[in-house]
Structure 1
Amino acid sequence: MVRHDCSDFLWAVRAARELHSDACRTKQRFEDQRSQIALCTCSTSSSASSNPSSLSSPPPGRMASVQPLFLTASIIFFLFISSAHAHAVPRLTFPLESPGRPITLFNLPDVSNTTTLLLSNDEETLYIGARDAILSLKISKTGSLELSKKIDWSPTETELRECIMKGTNEMDCANFVRVLQVLNSTHMFACGTFAFGPRCSYISSEDFSLSSSAGEKHEEGRGRCPYNPYNKHTAITVGGELYTATVADFRGNRPVISRHLSEGDRVDMKLDDTPGWLEDPTFISSAYIPSEEKVYFFFSEMGREYDFIERFTVSRVAQVCTSDVGGQRTLQRRWTTFTKAQLLCQARDELPYNVLQDMSTLWPAEGASEDETLFYGIFSSQWSVNSGRSAVCAFSLRDVKDVFGGNYKTLNRDTLRWSSRMQEKIANPGECGLHNSSDNVLRFVKEHFLADKSVSPANQGLALVSGDQRYTNLVAQRVKGANGREYTVLYLLTESGFLHKAVLAGGGAHIVEEIQVLREPQRVTNLLLSISKGVVFVGSSEGVASVPLSACALYRSCAECVLARDPFCAWDSTRRVCAHVSAVTDQAVQDVDGGNVLKVCKNFTTLNPRGRSVTTTVSHSEVVSVSLKEVVRLRCRTLSQLATLHWERSGAELSPDIYIKEHGVLSFLATPTTLGSYRCQATENGFTQTLCLYEVRQKEDPSLQPISTSSTSSTFSTSSTLSPAPARETTPREKTETKPTTQTSASTLIPAVTQAPAHGSKHMLQHESSASYLKELVAVSVLLAMCVCALLLLVAYDLRKTYHSRTAPHLSSHDSDQEREVLQGESPHPEKQSSEKSPHPPNTGVSNGSNVYLPNTPI
C-alpha cells in the first residue's frame, strides 16, 4: 500500500516538473529537495527513479487520488522558485508632446480605428485599414504622413440592421478592415468584418480603388477575416496566395489555418477538423521563410497534453509547406505538413511566461545563414506571481527546425490523450512532399503532429523582463554601432501607451528611453518599422503616430551621449556634438555595451548636462535667501532614472536627523547651523557630475543675524566651519535664541566650486507658518521637567534641615568646653569662665525638648 501511494506521489512530482520546467531543466534541484519532502521510503523512491517510464502517466483510475498529491508537489515546487532577473527600467521618460522627443500624429475627423498598417515595398507609401475606410498616405523624408487617397468602404443600411438584430453592438457593426496585403505589382487584397459578415475585395495599386473580381464587387471573407473586430488573427501573402489563421464562424468557435486565392493546379487548403489539431487558439503572427518554403504561425492555445491541469495555456509555433496540396484520398484539401511545437519562454528555476502576446521576425545579418533568423516574442504569464509583467524571449530558426525534426507525441483519438510512446516511425511529420505519400503515411501524420520537445529560448535565457507593466506589441531591428558591431534594438509598446526602446548589449537589456505615444490605454493591432525613413508607426484609435527611431541632438555632452548607450548615436569628437553614427565623419565616441564615460570621454573636459550650459567648473552658486525657522526645500532633478542623486555640504554627509531627502528635494529647517552651501550630484555608471549648487543665506534682518565669519564671499574648502566652537553643546532652541553681537555673512564656509549652476535648475522655498518644532518642543519640555525636579529637591532638602534643627540637641560652645573638662577629669575654671564673654545669654544647661543630663555622662 505504501509503495502504491509513493508511486502516485512520484508521478505527481514528475508532472509538476514537466509542467513548469520541461522535466530535465529542474530535475537536479528538485531531486536534491525530494529527500526532505518524500512521503515514502527511500527504497521505493530509488526504484521509481530507476524506472522513469513508470512516472510518465498515472495508474488507471488514480487521477482523483493523485490530485491532492499533485497540489502538494506544486506548492513545494513554488517554494523553491527564486527570481534572478533585474527588471529593466527606462533611462529617460518623455511624456506626450515633450519638446525633446516630438512625435507626429496623423488623424482625420471622419476616420477612426486606424489599426491595420501595411508598408509598400519601396517604403514610400503607408496603407491604413480603418473603420469603413482604407487610406493611402505619403511618407516624407522625416517620417511625417500626408493623405494621398481614401477609399470609403462601409456596409449597407440593410446589413447594419441585420447585424444589430443579431444582438451585436451597433458600434461593432461597421466594417473594420483587418486584412490588408500586397498580392502582386498591380493589386492589393483587403478584408473587413463588414457588419459581422466578412467581405474581401481587390484594390488596384495604380489608382487605389476597389476593383471587382469575376464581375463581383465583394468576395466571401469567411476563413480569411474574423467576424468580430476584436478577435486576433494573422495573414500573409506568398506568391499571390493568402495564408490566414482566424476563426470561420460567427461565434468564433471554429479556428482554422487556411490558404486562399490559389490558381491553376493548386487548390485552397485548410486544417482538418479532427479534434486536437487546434485547442481554442489565439492567433498572433505569421512569417514566411523562403529557404524552407514554409509558413510559420505563432499562437497560444490550451495545452491538452497536460491533462492533469484544467485550462493550462501554452504558446505554439506551427508550420505548413507552401507546396502542400493535400492528400489524394486521405486529407484531401487538408494540410499534410501541419505540425506544431511548444515555445517555452522560461528561465531556470522560474515559472514560465506561457501566454504569447506578439511575435516579430528579425532576419539575419547580410551574408549570414537563414538559420540565424530570430523570432522575438512577448510573453505574459497566467500565474499570479508574474502578474502584470512581461518577458521577451528569442527563438532561433535552427532550434525550431531541430524540434520539428525530432520525435512526436501520439494522440489517442479515443481518449484524446497524448503519449510520448511511438511504436514505429514510418514518416517524418512536417516534411514537405507528404501530399504524395500513401494513406498509411498520411494516417500516421494525422496522429503525430505535436512535437515531443519544446523550443527553448536562444542562449537559454530571457532577453528582457519588464518591471511593473505589460508589453503588447514589438518590432525588432539590427543596428550597426560605431565599432562596427551589430546590436539588436527592440521597440515595445506598453498597455499604458508608452513605446520602449531597448538595446540588447553588454549581457543584458538596456532601455534607452520610453516615449508616450497614446493618450489613453488601448489595444493596438501592430507596430510597423520603416528602416529607410527611420521611424516606427503606431496605429491606434487616436490616429497613426510616427515616432523617430533616435534623437541624438538631445545629448549635449560626451558624457550624456555615452551614458545613453544608444547604438544610433555617437559623440563627434570634431564637431563636439552627439550625432547619428552615419553622420560622424571623424572619430566617433560610443560605448553601447558599458556606457563607460571615464574611459571613452577622458579627452573631453566639457560635460554639459542636457538642457544646461554647464562645464565641469562652476564659478558661483545660486543664492537662496531665507528666514530663520523657515522650511527650506532645494530641488535637484536628473532626467536619467538610472542615476543616483547625492547631496552634500562642504564635502560632508548630511545627517538624516536634520535633513530629509525625497524625490530629488532636500528639505531642512533654516537655523544658523544649516545655512551655507549645498551641492547636488548625480552618479551613473561610475561617473559623477554636479547638477546644481545652492548657497542658503539668511535674509537681511538687523534685529536677528546668525553668527558667522567676517567674509561675505564663499569658496569651497575642506574645512566645514570657521566660527569658533562653543564651550558646550547647545540645544536647537538655545541656538535659535542666541543673539549675535556682530552682523556678518553665513556662519558655514561655502565649498568652492568650479562649476556653473545648471541652467534651468530650480529651487523652491516654502514659508510655512505652521512648521513643526517637535524636536525643540521635546528639548524644552525635558529642561522644564529637570528644573522642576531640581526645585522640588531643594525645597525638600530645606524642609528636612529645618526639621532636624528642631529635634536635635543644641549645645553652646561654653557647655561644650565644660563637658570636655569633665570628661578629662578636670574641674572647670571659674575665672576663665568669668573672663570670657559669651555671645549667648546665660544657659541653664537645659535645652527645649531634651533631658537635663547629657548622654553618656555620669549623674
Structure 2
Amino acid sequence: DFDSLSSLMVRDDIGQLVLGARGKVITLSLDDITDKTSEVRPLLGFLLHSNHFKLHLFQQECENFIRILHTADDGNMFVCGTNAFNPACTYMNFTNGKLSLEKTMQDGRGKVPFDPYQEFASFMDGNTLFSATSSNFLGTEMVFQRHGINPIKTETRLSCKHSENNEDDNVFLFFTENAVEEPRSNVRVSRIARVCKSDLGGERTLQNKWTSFLKARLDCPFGDAGSPALVQDVFFLQDKTNWTDSIFYATFTSNPSRSQTSAVCAYKLSDIRQVFKGAFLTESSTGSWDTYTGAEPYPYPGSCIDDEMRANGLLTSLNLSDTTLLFVKSHPLMEGTVTPITGKPLLVQASTQFSKIVVDRVTSLDGQHHHVIFFGTNSGWLQKAVRFGGEEGRIVEELQLFQDAQFIDFLQLSSKMGQLYSGARNAVVQVDVRGCSHYLSCDDCLLARDPYCGWDYSRNQCDTVVGTSQSSMIQSLVEGNISMCPTICVCLSPSAVENDFITVHLVPGIAQFLPCSPDTNLPVSWRLSATILLPGPQHLLLSQGLIIWPSPSDAGLYTCETVETVKSRQHRKAVVQYLIKIQKTSADIIILKIAVAVLACFAAFLICLLWKYFRAAKLKRVGSQICNDCQERSFHQYDQANQRLGEQSLHHRVRDAGSEGAVAAQAEERVGPSHEISLTVT
C-alpha cells in the first residue's frame, strides 16, 4: 500500500522496518514485513503556483518524497522529504507501536535533492548529518557538506554517486566525476574522498569550507583499459579488533557505452590511508597534471588534528596556517590510486548491472570469520557470494526477488534477525539469509561452502551454524571435504533404477529445451554418455538447462550434473538425466512403411508356401493310411465271399441244373460290388 519507495531503514532496536515513500512513512515488523504497524503522512510545507507547475513539473513530482531516514543518538528518527521541490526535514519517533512527527520543520536544502529522482548520499554520525547532494533547484551544484552547529561544505564541485562512510575521525565519500588529469575530455572516473569529522574550516582561507578535503582515483580493473569502472554503491565492514583492517566493499559497472559488465571490489582501510599520505598532483601551466615535487607545508596537508599537532598548538583547523590551507585548496588530488585487495575484483559478471551491496560477517564452526556478500542487480536478482583464502569470489546462491525485471534500489541487512530487506519502486522483500534447508544432502551442504550452513548429523539435515555447537554439526568451507559426511546406505529397487531418467522423443532439426535446476548454485555441466558437451551449433548451454537441435546421431543418455572443484578435486553429482530418442522424419517413415509392407508380403508368401507344403504332406500320410485300411477290408470281404460261395456250392451240388444257375448268378452279384469298391478306393 505504498508507491514510489524512496528510503528504507532497519531498526533492530525497535524491531521495525521503516519505509519512506511518496507522501508517507510506514513501519513494518522485522519478523514479518506483511505486518504493518504504523503510518504517518508528513504534510507539504507549501504548494507551488499552478502556472509554475504546468510549465516545469509533473503533478507526482510535486508531492513529498521521503528521501532521508536516519536514527539520532536519542533513538528519534531524522526525516527529510522533497516537499514539492522545497526540501524540508523534521524528527519522528516510534512510541507504543505508533509513529508521530514533530511539528517543527527544518530547511532541507543541501540535505536532500530538490528532485525526487536525483541521486545523492547521506549518513548520520551521532546527531550530525553528512550529505552529498545538489544545493540548488536545477541540481547543477553538487556539494559535500556537514550540517549542524558548524556547517562546512566542499570548495569544488562534485558529481556524487551513492555512498559514503566514516572511520574514526574521518569521513569517506565515493563518487564519480570527469577526470581533470586525463588528456582526453569527458573521461568519467571513480573517486574516493576523505575529510576530517572535526574539521571546522579555516580562519581566513577556506572559511566554512573543508580544510581536509582530499581525493584519489578509485580503481577496479576489469573490462577495457580505456574505460574506467564506475562505482555504484559501497558498504563499510568495520573490523572491531583492528580498525585499519576494515574493508570497503563496492559494486562497479563498466562504461555504459560499451557492453554492460559489473564487478565487486574490496579495499582495505590501511591501503587507502597510505594513498592519502602519498604525493600530490599539481596542474602545470600547459594544463597537464604532474606529480608535485616541491616542499610540503606543515602539518601534512589534509591531516586531521592529532596529539602531536595539539602539542604544537594546533587545536582545531582554525589554527592551520594560510600556507597549508592554500596548498589543500590548489592540490586536492592525490597521485596514488586506491587499488583493490589482491589487485583485482573479487568477482566479475558480464551482461549484468550491479546496484546495492551489503556484507555480513559470519563466524564458522572453527571460529574463523568469513564475509558473505549480498548484491542486487538492475533486473531484480539478489546474489550471495563468498571468498575463501586466495580464491576468487564465488556465487553461492541466486534469488529472483521481483517477478518483473526492476532495479533493486535498497538493500539492508539485519544480522540480528538473519534477514535481508530489499526494496524496489513499489515492492519490499524479506529474505532469510541463513536458509540452509534447500541443501537436501550432506554432500550438497558441504560442497556449497556456505558459511551460514553446516550438516547436523544428529538430525540428518542442513541447518544454520549461527548459535549452534560444534559437537552436533560439521562444516568444510575451505576444503569442501564430503568424506566427513556420514555413510548412508540407500537401496534402490530395480524399478527405481529404471525410472532414473526422463525419456524425450525429439524430431531432427527442431529445438528442444531440457531444463536443469539444481538445489545448489554450483556450476552445471552436461554430458552425453561419457562425453562432456561443449557449446556448438547443436548445443546451447544455459544456466537453467540445455537447448538442443538434434540430429539422428544425438540420441543417447544426457546427464546434467553439478561440478565443484575444491583444492584441485572435482566433485560431480547428477541432477537430472534425459534419454533422448530421435523420431524419424516423414520421408524416413514412408520408406519404413514400404519396407514393412514388402516384408509383410514376403512373409505372407512364405507362410502360404509352408502351409501348402505341410498340408500336402499331411494329406499324403492320411491317404496312405486310408488305402491300407481299405485294402485290408477288401481282401477280408473277398475271402468271406469266396468262403460263402464254396459253402453254397457244396450245399446245392445235388440240386438240378436250373438251381445251380440261380445260385451262380447271386454269387456273382455279391462279389462284383465288393471288388469295385476296392478298386475305387485304390
Normalization by structure 2: what TM-score? 0.74
2:17 aligns to what? Answer: 126
Confirm whether residue 254 of structure 1 aligns to residue 141 of structure 2: yes
Confirm whether residue 645 of structure 1 aligns to residue 526 of structure 2: yes
Confirm whether residue 330 of structure 1 aligns to residue 205 of structure 2: yes
1:593 aligns to what? Answer: 478
* Preserved contact between residue 256 and residue 270 of structure 1 (Cα < 8 Å): yes
1:487 aligns to what? Answer: 370
1:684 aligns to what? Answer: 563
Match of 1:458 among 330, 341, 362: 341
Map 1:759-778 → 2, pairs under 5 A = 771=586, 773=588
Q: Structure 2 CA distance, aligned partners of 1:425 and 1:233?
A: 34
1:552 aligns to what? Answer: 436
Confirm whether residue 355 of structure 1 aligns to residue 233 of structure 2: no
The one-letter code matched in structure 1 to 2:64 is N
1:170 aligns to what? Answer: 59
1:74 aligns to what? Answer: none
Match of 1:496 among 357, 373, 379: 379
What SS class does the counterpart of residue 575 from structure 1 fall into? coil
Q: Structure 2 CA distance, aligned partners of 1:625 and 1:514?
A: 29
Distance 1:166 1:198, change over 3 A: farther
2:426 aligns to what? Answer: 542
Q: Structure 2 CA distance, aligned partners of 1:457 and 1:484?
A: 26
Confirm whether residue 419 of structure 1 aligns to residue 290 of structure 2: yes
Distance 1:668 1:519, change over 3 A: closer
Confirm whether residue 530 of structure 1 aligns to residue 452 of structure 2: no
Map 1:726-765 → 2, pairs under 5 A = none
1:285 aligns to what? Answer: 163
Distance 1:692 1:489, change over 3 A: closer
* Preserved contact between residue 355 and residue 409 of structure 2 (Cα < 8 Å): no
Residue 370 of structure 1 and its aligned partner are, at CA, apart by: 0.2
Distance 1:563 1:159, change over 3 A: same
User: Structure 1, residues 418-453: CA drift from partner, whole Å, max 9, x if none?
Assistant: 332342211312112433112222222211221121
Distance 1:177 1:678, change over 3 A: same
The one-letter code matched in structure 2 to 1:437 is L
What SS class does the counterpart of residue 70 from structure 2 fall into? strand
* Preserved contact between residue 389 and residue 468 of structure 1 (Cα < 8 Å): yes
Residue 187 of structure 1 and its aligned partner are, at CA, apart by: 2.7
Q: Structure 1 CA distance, aligned partners of 2:501 and 2:187?
A: 64
Could you list the runs of 5+ residues in structure 2 that have no partner in the other structure? 305-315, 565-569, 596-682
Confirm whether residue 620 of structure 1 aligns to residue 491 of structure 2: no
Q: Structure 1 CA distance, aligned partners of 2:358 and 2:263?
A: 14
What SS class does the counterpart of residue 521 from structure 1 fall into? coil
Distance 1:151 1:615, change over 3 A: farther
Confirm whether residue 581 of structure 1 aligns to residue 477 of structure 2: no
1:516 aligns to what? Answer: 400
Could you list the runs of 5+ residues in structure 1 that have no partner in the other structure? 1-107, 608-612, 697-763, 781-859
Q: Structure 2 CA distance, aligned partners of 1:692 and 1:219?
A: 62
2:39 aligns to what? Answer: 150
* Preserved contact between residue 360 and residue 475 of structure 1 (Cα < 8 Å): yes
Residue 589 of structure 1 and its aligned partner are, at CA, apart by: 3.1
Distance 1:351 1:220, change over 3 A: same
* Preserved contact between residue 636 and residue 691 of structure 1 (Cα < 8 Å): no
* Preserved contact between residue 189 and residue 203 of structure 1 (Cα < 8 Å): yes
Say which structure is richer in strand: 2
* Preserved contact between residue 118 and residue 180 of structure 1 (Cα < 8 Å): yes
* Preserved contact between residue 634 and residue 667 of structure 1 (Cα < 8 Å): no
Distance 1:660 1:296, change over 3 A: closer
Q: Structure 2 CA distance, aligned partners of 1:630 and 1:574?
A: 51
2:218 aligns to what? Answer: 343
What SS class does the counterpart of residue 164 from structure 1 fall into? helix
2:328 aligns to what? Answer: 445
2:242 aligns to what? Answer: 369
1:241 aligns to what? Answer: 128
Residue 524 of structure 1 and its aligned partner are, at CA, apart by: 3.8
Distance 1:772 1:591, change over 3 A: farther
Q: Structure 1 CA distance, aligned partners of 2:494 and 2:552?
A: 29
The one-letter code matched in structure 2 to 1:505 is F
Residue 394 of structure 1 and its aligned partner are, at CA, apart by: 0.8
Q: Structure 2 CA distance, aligned partners of 1:463 and 1:164?
A: 48
Q: Which has the larger radius of gyration?
A: 2
Q: Structure 1 CA distance, aligned partners of 2:572 and 2:185?
A: 54
2:3 aligns to what? Answer: 112
Distance 1:257 1:577, change over 3 A: same
* Preserved contact between residue 231 and residue 251 of structure 2 (Cα < 8 Å): yes
Confirm whether residue 382 of structure 1 aligns to residue 255 of structure 2: yes
Residue 178 of structure 1 and its aligned partner are, at CA, apart by: 1.0
The one-letter code matched in structure 1 to 2:160 is T
Q: Structure 1 CA distance, aligned partners of 2:48 and 2:357?
A: 36
Map 1:80-91 → 2, pairs under 5 A = none
1:406 aligns to what? Answer: 278
Confirm whether residue 303 of structure 1 aligns to residue 192 of structure 2: no
Match of 2:88 among 199, 214, 226: 199
Confirm whether residue 430 of structure 1 aligns to residue 302 of structure 2: yes
Confirm whether residue 476 of structure 1 aligns to residue 348 of structure 2: no
Distance 1:765 1:229, change over 3 A: farther
Residue 415 of structure 1 and its aligned partner are, at CA, apart by: 7.2
Q: Structure 2 CA distance, aligned partners of 1:324 and 1:765?
A: 76
Aligned residue-pair number: 565
* Preserved contact between residue 392 and residue 463 of structure 1 (Cα < 8 Å): yes
Residue 527 of structure 1 and its aligned partner are, at CA, apart by: 1.0
User: Structure 1, residues 544-586: CA drift from partner, whole Å, max 9, x if none?
Assistant: 1111113211111112212322111111222221111134653
Instruction: Identify which range, 297-306 or 677-686, moves more after superposition.
Output: 677-686
What SS class does the counterpart of residue 387 from structure 2 fall into? strand
When the two chains are superposed, the root-mean-square deviation of aligned CA atoms in Å is 3.9
Residue 172 of structure 1 and its aligned partner are, at CA, apart by: 1.9
Percent identical:
28
What SS class does the counterpart of residue 498 from structure 2 fall into? coil
Q: Structure 1 CA distance, aligned partners of 2:18 and 2:190?
A: 30
The one-letter code matched in structure 2 to 1:574 is S
User: Structure 1, residues 766-821: CA drift from partner, whole Å, max 9, x if none?
Assistant: 9x7965649989xx9xxxxxxxxxxxxxxxxxxxxxxxxxxxxxxxxxxxxxxxxx
* Preserved contact between residue 228 and residue 254 of structure 2 (Cα < 8 Å): yes
